[in-house]
């Protein structure tokens, strides 16, 4: 069960990060950007692993203005292409002698039915398979320490869409449901985290999950653009009640990545009503996410679909 921890953990509680390196996917905007900036302000070297390197460079410049002594660089990474994941991992291995925090943050939400370069449903292929492959290719760069973290960003939406169908992950046998597909990709993020933690040595690193609650980000606004005009109007009216700033949304990720009291296999989210807003704490995910048999099946399928074997 989650342990009782301070009620108002903030970015001021991040321990000193000098000498530590964080690789953060999707760090040019939203939660990833705020995570990178907060870590840079505490002394970490940060790598912004992004699909659009132009936007990544602009984000790096903005972080450098806030933290002039920080080391910030941009790495091209397209999680929807396993070839790109492999190329990015190879470059990172040549430039980073060690990685202390791998933060799997990037993701797509509520997209129309499309596929990745490798033929997988886009949300599952990007949100889960891309991060599964990246983690497997970089895991041995993380020191055997409980301060080393693999943090994978899930969502309260992992409860949407009903049971995941591991026999039809690419939606070939049923009508496509973009909301369910998103929910299943975020459920996969959690099952991956829990299975990874089971396989990691007791000395570390730790595998931890987090979710931002309702964060007012570009991604959430883009997701609503696919909705009907009536739905968009209704959501605009209640947005201030449901959503918090990206800075607040990043706190569960930052706590999962840096708090010395975090345990492997924990899941962090906002402490407010229905985990939508508030300061971060350890929370529970859906019953399905804790199904060890399902986790193992997903792991085996992910290895087959990515051709990645973890060094465990």
Q: 110, 182, 194, 267: which one is catalytic? A: 182
Integer Cα distance of 151 and 65 in angstroms: 26
Residue with tokens 């987090």: 210
**How large is the C-alpha radius of gyration of the chain?**
18
Residue 182 is a catalytic residue: yes
DSSP per-residue string spanning the chain? -PPP--TT--GGGPPP-TT-EEEEETTTSHHHHHHHHHHHHTT-EEEEEES-HHHHHHHHHHHHHHSTT--EEEEE--TT-HHHHHHHHHHHHHH-S--SEEEE-----S--S-B-TTSSBHHHIIIIIIHHHHHHHHGGGS-SSTT-EEEEE--GGGGTTSS--TT-TT-SSS---HHHHHHHHHHHHHHHHHHHHHHS-TTS-EEEEE--SSB--HHHHHHHTTS-HHHHHHHHHHHHHH-B-HHHHTHHHHHHHH-TT--TT-EEEE-SGGGSSSSEEE----GGGG-HHHHHHHHHHHHHHHT-----
Closest CA to 25 of 81, 117, 102: 102
Question: Taking phi first (over 0 means left), then psi (-120 to 50 degrees means alpha), and beta for anything else, what does residue 101 get?
Answer: beta
Active site residues: 182
């Amino acid at each position: 069960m989650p342990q009782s921890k301070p009620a108002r953990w903030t970015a001021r509680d991040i321990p000193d990060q000098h000498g530590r390196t964080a690789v953060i996917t999707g760090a040019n905007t939203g939660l990833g950007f705020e995570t990178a900036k907060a870590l840079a302000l505490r002394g970490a070297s940060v790598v912004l692993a992004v699909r659009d390197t132009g936007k990544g460079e602009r984000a790096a410049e903005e972080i450098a203005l806030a933290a002039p002594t920080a080391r910030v660089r941009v790495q091209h990474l397209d999680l929807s292409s396993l070839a790109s994941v492999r190329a990015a991992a190879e470059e990172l291995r040549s430039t980073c002698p060690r990685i202390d925090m791998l933060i799997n943050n990037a993701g797509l939400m509520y997209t129309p039915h499309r596929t990745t370069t490798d033929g997988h449903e886009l949300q599952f292929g990007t949100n889960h398979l891309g991060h599964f492959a990246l983690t497997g290719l970089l895991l041995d760069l993380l020191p055997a320490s409980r301060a080393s973290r693999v943090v994978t960003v899930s969502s309260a939406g992992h409860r949407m869409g009903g049971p995941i169908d591991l026999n039809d992950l690419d939606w070939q046998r049923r009508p496509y449901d973009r909301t369910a597909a998103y929910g299943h990709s975020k459920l996969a993020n959690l099952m991956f985290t829990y299975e990874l933690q089971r396989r990691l040595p007791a000395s570390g690193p730790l595998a931890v999950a987090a979710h931002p609650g309702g964060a007012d980000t570009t991604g959430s606004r883009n997701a609503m653009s696919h909705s009907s005009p009536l739905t968009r109007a209704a959501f605009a009216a209640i947005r201030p009640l449901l959503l918090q700033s990206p800075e607040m949304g990043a706190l569960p990720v930052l706590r999962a990545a840096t708090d010395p009291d975090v345990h492997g296999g924990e899941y962090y989210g906002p402490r407010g009503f229905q985990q939508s807003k508030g300061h971060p704490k350890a929370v529970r995910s859906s019953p399905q996410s804790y199904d060890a048999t399902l986790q193992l099946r997903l792991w085996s399928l992910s290895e087959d679909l990515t051709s990645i074997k973890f060094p465990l």
